[in-house]
Structure 1
Amino acid sequence: MECFRRHEHRGNKKSNWSLTPKREVIIMGASNISRLPLIHNLKIQVDSFPGANMAQATHLIKRKTPTSPETKIVILCFGLNDRNTVTPETLNHDLQDLLSAAHYTFPNAKIHVPLINASMRLPIKAYRNITLLNAAIKRIPGYLEKMDMRHYITADDNIHWTPKTANLMWKNWRSSLDL
């Protein structure tokens, strides 16, 4: 049976979001994660937190998720909602805090952060911030490569994946991690 959940915040992300680890592999991220195809693997749990940025994800993992030594792999898919962050220093700080929280809460897990595919149609500042964040992600052991940009297509908002893109993204991660 699939373990796939979209966590609505109903106006208060800090209060209304929580994560209960149930499987060996946790894929968690912002709204695009809810667009992944249903994953028929009893070891994999998918949790989507629409609108989450890295600081909110850090709070969620640190304060609203029980420690889970049983978890073996965590894929953290956050960062696109940080595209309007003011400084590169904030991006780096938020990424490091997120990783620290994940290592603490999932002490036996390999933590992976995918590079962020971003539409070239984003505003220049937003695209530049994603590029800077990707440079920081590349310094993390076990980061996951982007999918081929020739196949990366978003909805009209330039943010959300099309169903085809979501399928290709999952195939890219699955092959990288041998899941």
Structure 2
Amino acid sequence: RRVTRHITTTRKMKDWSLSVRKKFLILGDSNLSRFPPFNEQNLQVDSFPGGNFRHAGAILSTATCITPPERIILDFGINHRSQKTHSTSVKQLQAALRAAKLRFPNTREMIPTISYSPALPQLERFRLQGLNRFIVEQCDSIPQLN
């Protein structure tokens, strides 16, 4: 099995959709497309290039469902690095979690902390550090990879 990589588009809210078919679902940005092939039959991995938490909320709110997921991992944070205000990123993350809970009320939602390069500009690192603090303090988080 492989990652489903959705089309690269400038009309993300209109062009992207999701059909949930497995018990364990990982949704994220283009970094997920590097996920190696896997054999787990209950796992679905979907990559949305350029996606962020705002897009995740829209995708989840319109998702069709064949198998209700037990767990969803939302891995979209890196594309918030250039967002000017911290509160916007946090609100979009909260909205994505609300959309997941409304669409799949019996599902556990998890957010990985965002791994990033130390070569990023200082301001972008600062923004991601702030978002990571929120994820660790307020979400069911997965620790950052080192």
TM-score (norm 2): 0.93
- The answer as to 2:46 corresponding to 1:47 is yes
Q: What is the number of equivalent residue pairs in this alignment?
A: 146
Q: Specify the alignment match of 1:83 in structure 2.
A: 81
Q: Specify the alignment match of 1:38 in structure 2.
A: 37
Q: Deviations over 1:104-157 (max 9, x none)?
A: 122111111000011110011111110000001002342100112xxxxxxxxx
Q: Specify the alignment match of 1:12 in structure 2.
A: 11
Q: After superposition, where does 1:116-127 map in structure 2 within 5 Å?
A: 116-127=114-125
Q: Specify the alignment match of 2:110 in structure 1.
A: 112
Is the Cα–Cα contact under 8 Å of residues 9 and 17 in structure 1 kept in the other structure?
no
Deviation of 1:55 (Å): 1.0
TM-score (norm 1): 0.77
- The answer as to 2:57 corresponding to 1:58 is yes
CA RMSD of aligned residues (A): 1.5
Q: Deviations over 1:83-107 (max 9, x none)?
A: 1111111121111111111111221
- For structure 2, the 5+ residue unaligned runs are none
Deviation of 1:23 (Å): 0.2
Distance 2:4 2:66 in 1: 18
3-state SS of paired residue (1:81): helix
Deviation of 1:35 (Å): 0.5
Is the Cα–Cα contact under 8 Å of residues 60 and 99 in structure 2 kept in the other structure?
yes
Distance 1:7 1:31 in 2: 9
Distance 1:47 1:58 in 2: 14
3-state SS of paired residue (1:138): helix
Q: Deviations over 1:33-90 (max 9, x none)?
A: 110111210000000000001111111111x313577210101001100111111111
Q: Specify the alignment match of 1:27 in structure 2.
A: 26
Structure-2 change in CA distance of 1:36 and 1:46 (3 Å): same
Q: Specify the alignment match of 2:92 in structure 1.
A: 94
Distance 2:80 2:105 in 1: 26
Deviation of 1:3 (Å): 5.4
Please identify which structure carries the higher strand content.
Answer: 2
* Structure 1 consecutive aligned stretches of length 4 or more whose deviation exceeds 3 Å: none
Q: Specify the alignment match of 2:131 in structure 1.
A: 133
3-state SS of paired residue (1:133): helix
Q: Which has the higher contact order (CA 8 A, sep 6+)?
A: 2
